[in-house]
Amino acid sequence: MRSVNEETLVLLYYGELDAADARAVRSLLAQDAELGAQFAELTAELDAVPDPEVPERDELYGRRTWARVDAALDAQTQRHGAGFSNWRGFRFAGGLLVVSMVALIAFQFGRVTSPPAHQFVALPEIQRSDSNSQARLLEASLVTHFDNADRLLTEIANNQGGEVDIESEKEWAKVLLVANRLYRFAAEQAGQARIAELLADMEPVLIELANGSANGEGQLTPNEYRNLRQSIAERGLVFKVRSTNIGLKPTGRQPTEGSL
């Protein structure tokens, strides 16, 4: 165990020591009066530190947040419009941007707060004043997500070769998988059962692709690739993703009242 210094006592106070070290330090505190007094003084000082106050959000907070995310979304859409080669070259930093944007969307739709430990709370409804802008952003974000998923699924479905290197697809599938789960949450909060069901149907395929081969490498055996293509075909994912996406695009069918 590390020597008992002030850093160790601070870690003990905040519960950051492992169980064995914590027991050893407490035993020393009980045996050493000077050390015990030092910990008592430190505890009093830390107890006196007030918890930071969370600032109140004004009425324009939601609009400012959506404006920032909307600007990022426009930039992302322009990048994806450059073609499939750019999409395949979209690296981890870009993936983090997508996931961060989706997290903001899911947060705004659910208005997630930090519940006390071991408690579940009902998510409040979306305020009607923000519903139109939120719905528009979710629609636009889903279009981009479904576009990317369509490209990925189509490439997998159309490739009928032998052993296939899916390293680039594997990395993008990992990003799509995280985004897919957050979009599914947002769709469920918006009451969009059909969209949420499609996203749930896509998830097993994304998981399988993100995990890659059973040996952990980026190469899929012919049998593994055949099973993956069969899974896509049996679910009709390419058709479902395309038809749903057409309905979400401005040139397609406009959502009815109460939809996305």
Could you give the CA distance from residue 144 to residue 153 in angstroms, rounded to a whole number?
A: 14
pLDDT of the residue at 198: 93
First to last CA, the chain: 56
- Each residue of 130-144: b (16+ CB within 10 Å) or e? beebbbebbbbbbbb
pLDDT of the residue at 236: 92
CB–CB of 248/260 below 8 Å?
yes
Query: How many CB atoms neighbour CB 212 within 10 A?
Result: 20
CB–CB of 104/65 below 8 Å?
yes
Bridge partners, residue 164, by sequence: 220
Could you give the CA distance from residue 175 to residue 179 in angstroms, rounded to a whole number?
A: 6
In tens, the pLDDT along 197-217 reads: 999 999 998 888 888 755 555
3-state SS, the chain, equals: CCCCCHHHHHHHHCCCCCHHHHHHHHHHHHHCHHHHHHHHHHHHHHHCCCCCCCCCCCCCHHHHHHHHHHHHHHHHHHHHCCCHHHHHCCCHHHHHHHHHHHHHHHHHHHCCCCCCCCCCCCCCCCCHHHHHHHHHHHHHHHHHHHHHHHHHHHHHHHCCCCCEECHHHHHHHHHHHHHHHHHHHHHHHCCCHHHHHHHHHHHHHHHHHHHCCCCCCCEECHHHHHHHHHHHHHHCHHHHHHHHHHHHCCCCCCCCCCCC
Nearest to 217 by CA among 141, 165, 258: 165
Domain boundaries, the chain: 6-47, 61-248
pLDDT of the residue at 92: 39
In tens, the pLDDT along 38-81 reads: 899 888 888 876 665 556 666 665 566 656 655 555 554 454 44
pLDDT of the residue at 165: 60
Q: pLDDT tens, position by position, for the chain (260 residues)?
A: 556 788 788 888 888 788 888 888 898 899 989 888 989 988 888 887 666 555 666 666 556 665 665 555 555 445 444 444 443 433 333 444 444 555 555 444 444 333 333 333 333 333 434 455 566 677 777 888 898 889 888 888 887 665 556 677 777 788 888 888 888 888 887 778 899 899 999 999 888 888 875 555 556 777 888 888 888 999 899 999 999 888 887 755 444 434 44
Q: Note the pTM of the prediction, 2 decimals.
A: 0.49
Distances (CA, A) of 253 to 149, 187, 243, 250: 20, 18, 10, 7
